[in-house]
Structure 1
């Protein structure tokens, strides 16, 4: 009689140290798991459906403007502070935590074309159709004090955009040309032009802080270096670009929003063709802003929608829209990577989640200390002798009586 004995080498199963993971024997033969792929597909599909069920991206609407909101600006030091400018020249400072306006001032006559907060957060700059650049205090004036700008510069033409240097007291504006200004002077320290009628947007590079880029009316994107006397490079596209935004983590990459319903991501070292073409919008794209991580960006379009794109993907992962929201003119991604702010021409600013299904708010203590449950249960359920248990009970009763006497 032949007997087959099961044997194994214990060295293959015994851990070398107690920190090693226990080895679990598994048989990966597909014949033993005939429905593995359909089962995993069903699980993934159910998880996706549940995520869509719990997706509630819209958080709040900030009302108060009496005309369409044309531009917005983030505060570099405060997550809860945001500025907005409207088409009637009115500027509002918002507290996003309380979701209310904390300050209102008449900044310009006509449109507020652009605004930016100084890198230290103590003041902010605005430009408008009245050909002026104004610097304002971030602090609200005291009771009875008039709202007056710290400094006013009168230009020769209308300014369409403004941005501030990340480390120095220098800012840049664009209109008929690109001008670089020192905060202490009333005339530009340097001006750039490349045979272009006008510029619609200009942005400093947040990493390589001496570089900047602009969108021009002749369908071109022009790159500059503050240290040079002439522009660096120029790329001409099929249709005009409205705005652009630099990637905050990848110094050479930027994304521009175009009139041909697409967005284009370029590497400034290779401007022959775009790095990625981002499609899905069905009308002109008006604004774009990157997340602080640099992995995603959000776009605002004339088709009344907001779309979130991964930086390497040609299609959006999320689209936000409401029945009342009209053409979205400006868009911002909050500095904590959790919220998106959109401004549209029906006078509203809307607050959205960056991740539609993410649960926000305070964590309940039952969830926060869930990891302590097992250790607490072990310590509270220790078995003790009956005599010791009675002594502990008497001590607890006497302690309660003592506390009751003290509280009286």
Structure 2
């Protein structure tokens, strides 16, 4: 006689925390769960509320500078190392894991204008108002020895920006011209100029490594190729751009931080207009940096706030601020995509979480599955009015709130004036322009 038996592994039906509680199988037939959508909406609403309850983005501060933090550089080979330069010429090397300063170097007389780490992670470069480029070793000197630069280059003009090639021993500086240097030479390999008095920022493309871009004082953005002898293209905007940042995952995308409170994302294949305008700041944007994934970027502004923007959206998903934080001069996104580092005018370097409600530390499998389920629910109901209202609501300083309302009134007034002009003019005499078409004034090659 043949007897059929059901054999089940108890581990598949027991919980990971308490083995005496049995997990019940579930039938996913929608006809058996007529109230599933209502239950999921309630869970999505609760998950959105709890996300705002647990949103505590501030992690800690690195206090040690005696003057405002003017520039910052990430160490591409070490997640726990950060370099900062102050307005008094002082450079500090920090250990982010222990939040203490490992070295202090009095590098320049005047502002430290820029820092960058070499690709071999052995040295770093600094520029200042004293017209010098100095190379320093990243290894600490022996006890009793003075901090001396490995190499010093004396320039003819003040340098305002520096960036290193991602593979070679060449680096670029900007001032009155964009100069390409080599570690072994005291004179630039070549210089680029295009009728500009001064340039603010220069950045190498992390993917197409021979391309670089700079922002100039005449409101222009200039593209270069280090293998050529002259600049490639020039785009002039309505107002001056302070900083440019390349997308680390898409070689043809870059974003500029502008004086008109906005950030503009461009595609170099079509520079006649930006493909996205990011609006939420209420004062000049001073710095920005991309996340390692290339999907988001963070910006610091003169309005004393930090904002995180998705690349494909025009509004920020997060705003960070504190009572003591002043104008944010420099901002960086950590290479592990988890933290944001900001340097401001009141001498502090602050550490923030990239996701405000994210739990720091290791998660249990049950926590991971619960958080993943909540994220899917929030994504499913993200366009529902109540969920959207709670997810977007942020408390901002009173000054930022008033300026935001004032900016909205000004935009509505300009839009109304343009509509009235079109309405009372001859049909077809005035062409209505989209907001993106108003940004670029001219393009030159």
- Residues 233, 366 of structure 1: CA spacing in aligned structure 2 closer, same or farther, 3 A cutoff? closer
- Equivalent residue number for residue 287 of structure 2: 287
Matches within 5 A, 1:142-161: 142-161=142-161
- Equivalent residue number for residue 25 of structure 1: 29
- Equivalent residue number for residue 236 of structure 2: 236
C-alpha separation between the residues in 2 aligned to 1:209 and 1:282?
34
Please tell me whether the aligned partners of residues 113 and 159 of structure 1 are also in contact (alpha carbons under 8 angstroms): yes
- Equivalent residue number for residue 96 of structure 1: 96
Per-residue deviation, residues 140-188 of structure 1 (Å, max 9, x unmatched):
1000111000000000000000000000000000000000001110000
- Equivalent residue number for residue 306 of structure 2: 306
C-alpha separation between the residues in 1 aligned to 2:208 and 2:366?
46
- Residues 142, 295 of structure 1: CA spacing in aligned structure 2 closer, same or farther, 3 A cutoff? same
C-alpha separation between the residues in 2 aligned to 1:327 and 1:89?
19
Per-residue deviation, residues 185-220 of structure 1 (Å, max 9, x unmatched):
000001000000000000000000000000000000
Please tell me whether the aligned partners of residues 260 and 284 of structure 1 are also in contact (alpha carbons under 8 angstroms): yes
Please tell me whether the aligned partners of residues 131 and 159 of structure 1 are also in contact (alpha carbons under 8 angstroms): yes
- Equivalent residue number for residue 59 of structure 1: 59
C-alpha separation between the residues in 2 aligned to 1:170 and 1:43?
54
C-alpha separation between the residues in 2 aligned to 1:311 and 1:365?
31
Structure 1 portions without partners, runs of 5+:
1-20, 369-408
Q: Which has the higher contact order (CA 8 A, sep 6+)?
A: 2
Deviation at 1:55, TM superposition (A): 1.0
Deviation at 1:25, TM superposition (A): 3.3
C-alpha separation between the residues in 2 aligned to 1:276 and 1:124?
34
Please tell me whether the aligned partners of residues 76 and 120 of structure 1 are also in contact (alpha carbons under 8 angstroms): no
C-alpha separation between the residues in 2 aligned to 1:367 and 1:260?
43
C-alpha separation between the residues in 2 aligned to 1:90 and 1:242?
23
SS of 1:214's partner is strand
SS of 2:136's partner is strand
Per-residue deviation, residues 49-98 of structure 1 (Å, max 9, x unmatched):
10010111000010000000000000010000000000000000000000
Deviation at 1:39, TM superposition (A): 4.5
- After the TM superposition, list the runs of 4 or more consecutive aligned residues in structure 1 that deviate by more than 4 angstroms: 21-24, 35-39, 362-368
Please tell me whether the aligned partners of residues 213 and 224 of structure 1 are also in contact (alpha carbons under 8 angstroms): yes
Structure 1 residue 85 corresponds to structure 2 residue 85: yes
- Equivalent residue number for residue 131 of structure 1: 131
Structure 1 residue 278 corresponds to structure 2 residue 278: yes
SS of 1:27's partner is helix
Deviation at 1:45, TM superposition (A): 1.9
Deviation at 1:361, TM superposition (A): 2.2
C-alpha separation between the residues in 2 aligned to 1:97 and 1:120?
22
- Residues 282, 69 of structure 1: CA spacing in aligned structure 2 closer, same or farther, 3 A cutoff? same
- Equivalent residue number for residue 50 of structure 1: 50
- Equivalent residue number for residue 330 of structure 2: 330
C-alpha separation between the residues in 2 aligned to 1:250 and 1:107?
35
C-alpha separation between the residues in 2 aligned to 1:335 and 1:45?
32
Q: TM-score, normalized by length of structure 2?
A: 0.75
Q: TM-score, normalized by length of structure 1?
A: 0.82
C-alpha separation between the residues in 2 aligned to 1:262 and 1:95?
33
Q: Computing the radius of gyration over CA atoms, which structure comes out larger, 1 or 2?
A: 1
